[in-house]
Structure formats: structure tokens, C-alpha cells
Chain A
Amino acid sequence: NAGVTQTPKFQVLKTGQSMTLQCAQDMNHEYMSWYRQDPGMGLRLIHYSVGAGITDQGEVPNGYNVSRSTTEDFPLRLLSAAPSQTSVYFCASSYSLASGTSTDTQYFGPGTRLTVL
């Protein structure tokens, strides 16, 4: 299994440009999510999905769109990049979110480092 994969690894954008960060998993996980990591702030949830066709907002959703057309893929779209979106982005997946079970462990991709000039 490849686990959770993310592309690209690094990206530089100019303000106003759009792009899509790709995320895929081959573990047949229902739950997928996107986080951004900023210094001193830990990881903050952007959007998440509990299954194909279902998405919801997290803590910091503004400026980002997601879709989940298949179980495997969960792309994150920046419609008009801003310098405040300079960050490291992580995708994660798990079987479920049922707390207190063995299936709620999330597996993370290697991250995408995005710089917006």
C-alpha cells in the first residue's frame, strides 16, 4: 500500500492564481481531511469528508474548496491564492471517526509546502 499520497511536494504561486492540491489514499478509508500547519498554531482542519459525495467545513475553510467524487481522492482547491495561505498542507484519512474504537486513527500524507507571493 502507498498509504496517503500528496502532490505536489512544493509549490510557489502568485497572488490571485488558482491551483489544486491532490490527495489520494489506497486504504479504502471513508474519512478524509485537509489540515494546514502554521508555526505556533499546530494543525487546523480546513475541510473534511465522511464519504464519497459528502464534504463539510472545518475550522478554517475560507478560500478553499473540496470535492469527493471517489473514495480514493480528495483534492483541495485554492480559487484565488493569497499570501495568508502560505503554509504546509496535510491530507489525512481514517476508516471512521467513531471515537473509542480502533478505526479512528488518522494516517497523514507527507505534506505540500505552499508559498504565495
Chain B
Amino acid sequence: GDSVTQMEGPVTLSEEAFLTINCTYTATGYPSLFWYVQYPGEGLQLLLKATKADDKGSNKGFEATYRKETTSFHLEKGSVQVSDSAVYFCALSEDKLIFGTGTRLQVFP
């Protein structure tokens, strides 16, 4: 069945460092791919999405490219801030939304 695998955390970075969180997926069809973010004590918010191969989703300085050949959707940001500290979930959607296990990002000043 469909599945999402993302790197385990926590990822610990200093402010202004470069961020990559890896995400790979398995799907039978052509899913949409998402990154959701969960700030402490809150629900999930959509960060970005891509609906077809080679699409790049971007928001708040984060970006991810839908790579069909490597079945990946890695999240990147060039310069992280303390306010980016949160849990990040990769997900895919075909007939249901399937999540990865989440990666906690901690950014220190």
C-alpha cells in the first residue's frame, strides 16, 4: 500500500543554518504531496504542496520539489529561524491522506 518515510529527528540547527528534511514515498498512482507543520500545542497547518511531477511547492522560505524518478519530496530552507522550531510531517494523498511519522526541528539562537 501507499506509504511515506521521512527522516527521524530531532534535527537540531543553529539559526541561519540550511535545512533539509528527507521524505520518500511509495504510491501506486499519482498522488499529491504535502508538507504540514505542527507548532507546539497546535494542530497541523499546510506548509506547502505539489500536485504533479516536477512541481515545486514553496511557502515562508521553505520549498520542496516533487521528484517522481526518485519518489522524493525533500523539504529545504536556506536559513532557518528559531520560530521554525516545530514538527514537520510529509504526506501524500490519493484516496486517503497518509502521513510520515514526523520530524522535530529545533533551532537555537
Contact = CB atoms under 8 A, between A and B. Distances in A.
Interface residues of A, number: 26
A97 B96 contact: yes
Interface residues of B, number: 25
A58 B98 CA distance: 10
Given A42-B89, A108-B44, A110-B43, A100 B96 contact: no
Given A108-B45, A110-B43, A111-B43, A100 B32 contact: yes
A41 B51 CA distance: 25
Contacts of A111: 42-43
B18 interface: no
A79 interface: no
Nearest to B94: A99
Interface of A: 4, 33, 35, 40-45, 48, 58, 90, 92, 97, 99-102, 104-111
Q: Which 6 A-B pairs have the closest CB atoms?
A: A42-B101, A108-B43, A42-B99, A108-B44, A43-B99, A110-B43
